[in-house]
């Protein structure tokens, strides 16, 4: 995972890292943009406690969860999704996009308040309130040749 931002702050005691200012996250064929990104991680240091004077981390950090806020946009291949905030649960391999969610694929548009995507199974579910879809006849067929 590659993260770019204007600024970065880590809080070792809270096990969080916060990126702010035009945040961009790249992982495989997926790109995400937002204003604020908070990474929650577990320290894997073999049970050894670190002293404040020790340089660098004592082990690898395992990401548990990522929270994105402020104009969140996720792009994967030909599909775009946007919303007010997003949460990535790394253990369950799910993404939840909340608030004014819009999903666009080709000319098809789907709107709702919450989108949950299981990245393992590929199953997506939009719920919480009314869901509105606009599907263009032939838009799928024109993409496949």
Number of domains in the chain: 1
Look over the chain and give the mean of its residue pLDDT values, rounded to a whole number: 85
Q: Is 53 among the domain residues?
A: no
Supply φ then ψ for residue 138, to 5 degrees.
80, -5
Domain around 16? 2-45+58-143
Cβ atoms 83, 98 nearer than 8 A:
yes
**CATH number assigned to the domain comprising residue 71:** 2.60.450.10
What is the mean predicted confidence (pLDDT) over 66-81? 92
Tokens of 44: 């894997």
pLDDT tens-digit series, residues 39-58? 999 866 544 444 444 444 44
Percent residues over pLDDT 90 in the chain: 56
- What integer pLDDT is reported at residue 59 of this predicted model? 52
Confidence (pTM): 0.77
* Between 114 and 49, the higher pLDDT residue: 114
- What integer pLDDT is reported at residue 77 of this predicted model? 82
Cα–Cα distance for residue pair 41/38, rounded to 1 Å: 10
Cβ atoms 81, 73 nearer than 8 A:
yes
Q: Is 96 among the domain residues?
A: yes
Give first-to-last CA distance, the chain, whole Å.
Answer: 33
Cα–Cα distance for residue pair 117/124, rounded to 1 Å: 4
Q: Is 51 among the domain residues?
A: no
DSSP string of 35-76?
Answer: EEEEEEEEEESTTPPPPTTS-S-SSEEEEEEEEEEEEEEEEE
Cα–Cα distance for residue pair 61/65, rounded to 1 Å: 12
């Amino acid at each position: 995972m590659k993260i770019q931002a204007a600024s970065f702050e880590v809080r070792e005691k809270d096990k969080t890292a916060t990126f702010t200012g035009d945040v961009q996250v790249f992982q495989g064929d997926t790109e995400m943009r937002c204003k604020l990104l908070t990474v929650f991680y577990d320290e894997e240091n073999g049970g050894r406690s670190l002293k404040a004077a020790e340089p660098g981390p004592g082990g690898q950090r395992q990401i548990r969860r990522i929270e994105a806020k402020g104009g969140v946009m996720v792009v994967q291949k030909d599909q775009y999704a946007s919303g007010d905030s997003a949460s990535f649960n790394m253990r369950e391999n799910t993404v939840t996009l909340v608030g004014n969610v819009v999903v666009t694929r080709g000319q098809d548009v789907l709107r709702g308040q919450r989108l949950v995507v299981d990245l393992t199974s590929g199953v997506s579910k939009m719920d919480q309130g009314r869901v509105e879809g606009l599907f263009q006849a032939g838009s799928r067929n024109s993409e496949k040749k």
